[in-house]
């Protein structure tokens, strides 16, 4: 056993991957009193998550570039739910200093002084027409806009970095959770949105590579929700036209998948895909994939297991030292 707050060794994290029972109701009361941070929470899926957690007695801090909408939303929800622990903060996830300030302010607003769930949700769709470079044949085409990569990949990586840093200070026994927003475009091809698809493949790859070590060492569990097309403002007119008449996934199903991850505190390292209900709705992807590790990962896991064992030994000897040596000496001094 390691001394991580979950009391898990990397092996135990790897091999505890039974499928999530999606038919089972989850206990939503677990979020009461916890502090949830959502990037990109001013509209769409992030707004849906705020609306879900606000009446449950959680402190929810949303960050977004859309200040007007974020502030109006918080005002509305404070009035309708009576929960005063709902806050909007301006953040541009592309800027590391902006995210640092955002996290510091969120900590200051948290009644417990700690954070429990961080949701890296902010995102943009395909920006620019990558497949159609403009310019005459004898000129270089203009550099493609990199906004999609900046917001979806760099922004999520910055959020994860700060989440790992701050969640380490959350007391053992309290939840430490980092939730990513991938997409079905994390697994599947996204024609006419190649850069967006690359960004969401990146988020999934980042999550899959990151999820083991912080879970085993620091008890930070990580999960990802991957929705199919959902009707939110991120969908451009062209996309809506192509999808006309076709069933989409529902914001409420995406929010429920996220809420299950937030509320079920034993769940770590898992992916829930959210398809249209007619195609199965919420389903788990990659069950057991953490067990299928190749030699490099196996060696890392072995090294981490050894580190966990050494830490357990050091703690045990330290406890014995305090119990049988330091304690009696202090007792002697007190006596005289």
Ligand X SMILES: NC(=O)c1ccc[n+]([C@@H]2O[C@H](COP(=O)([O-])OP(=O)(O)OC[C@H]3O[C@@H](n4cnc5c(N)ncnc54)[C@H](O)[C@@H]3O)[C@@H](O)[C@H]2O)c1
Q: Which parts of this chain interact with ligand X (CB under 6 A)?
A: 39-40, 42-46, 64-66, 91-94, 121-124, 151, 155, 181, 183, 227, 229-230, 232-235
Cβ 91 to ligand X shortest distance, Å: 5
Nearer Cβ to ligand X (65/312): 65
Cβ 25 to ligand X shortest distance, Å: 25
Nearer Cβ to ligand X (103/229): 229
Nearest to 38 by CA among 163, 162, 122: 122
Nearer Cβ to ligand X (42/60): 42
The answer to whether the beta carbons of residues 42 and 17 sit under 8 Å apart is no
Nearer Cβ to ligand X (109/124): 124
C-alpha span between 53 and 204 (Å, rounded): 25
Q: Which two tokens stand for residue 58?
A: 């959680």
Q: Which residue has the tokens 């330290």?
A: 318
Helix (H/G/I), strand (E/B), else coil: 129:
coil
Residue 176 Cα to chain centre, angstroms: 10
The answer to whether the beta carbons of residues 3 and 216 sit under 8 Å apart is no
Cβ 52 to ligand X shortest distance, Å: 13
Beta carbons within 8 Å of 329's beta carbon, 6+ residues apart: none
Cβ 162 to ligand X shortest distance, Å: 13
Cβ 94 to ligand X shortest distance, Å: 5
The answer to whether the beta carbons of residues 92 and 65 sit under 8 Å apart is yes
Nearer Cβ to ligand X (176/200): 200
Nearer Cβ to ligand X (168/248): 248
Nearer Cβ to ligand X (146/300): 146
Cβ 40 to ligand X shortest distance, Å: 3
Cβ 240 to ligand X shortest distance, Å: 10
Q: Which two tokens stand for residue 114?
A: 């700690």
The answer to whether the beta carbons of residues 257 and 237 sit under 8 Å apart is no
Q: Which residue has the tokens 């206990």?
A: 27
**What strand order describes the sheet that includes 35-39?**
86-90, 59-64, 35-39, 117-120, 177-181, 221-227, 270-274, 282-285
């Amino acid at each position: 056993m390691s001394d991580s707050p979950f009391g898990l060794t990397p092996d135990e994290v790897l091999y505890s991957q039974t499928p999530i029972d999606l038919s089972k109701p989850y206990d939503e009361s677990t979020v009461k009193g916890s502090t949830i941070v959502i990037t990109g929470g001013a509209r769409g899926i992030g707004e849906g998550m705020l609306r879900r957690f606000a009446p449950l007695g959680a402190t929810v801090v949303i960050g977004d570039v859309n200040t007007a909408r974020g502030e109006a939303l918080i005002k509305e929800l404070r009035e309708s739910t009576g929960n005063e622990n709902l806050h909007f903060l301006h953040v541009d996830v592309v800027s590391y200093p902006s995210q640092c300030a955002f996290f510091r302010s969120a900590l200051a607003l948290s009644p417990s002084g700690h954070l429990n769930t961080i949701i890296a949700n902010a995102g943009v769709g395909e920006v620019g027409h990558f497949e159609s470079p403009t310019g005459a044949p004898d000129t270089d085409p203009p550099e493609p806009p990199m906004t999609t990569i900046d917001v979806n990949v760099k922004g999520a990586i910055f959020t994860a970095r700060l989440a790992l840093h701050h969640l380490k200070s959350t007391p053992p026994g309290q939840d430490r959770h980092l939730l990513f927003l991938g997409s079905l475009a994390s697994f599947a091809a996204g024609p006419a949105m190649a850069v967006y698809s690359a960004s969401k493949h990146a988020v999934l790859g980042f999550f899959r590579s990151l999820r083991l070590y912080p879970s085993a060492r620091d008890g930070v569990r990580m999960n990802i929700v991957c929705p199919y097309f959902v009707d939110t403002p991120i969908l451009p007119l062209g996309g809506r036209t192509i999808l006309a008449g076709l069933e989409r996934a529902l914001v409420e199903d995406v929010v429920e998948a996220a809420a299950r991850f937030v509320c079920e505190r034993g769940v770590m390292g898992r992916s829930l895909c959210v398809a249209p209900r007619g195609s199965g709705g919420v389903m788990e992807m990659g069950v057991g994939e953490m067990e299928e590790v190749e030699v490099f990962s196996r060696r890392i896991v072995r090294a981490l297991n050894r580190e966990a064992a050494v830490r357990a030994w050091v703690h045990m000897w330290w406890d014995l030292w305090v119990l049988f040596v330091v304690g009696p000496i202090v007792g002697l001094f007190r006596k005289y």
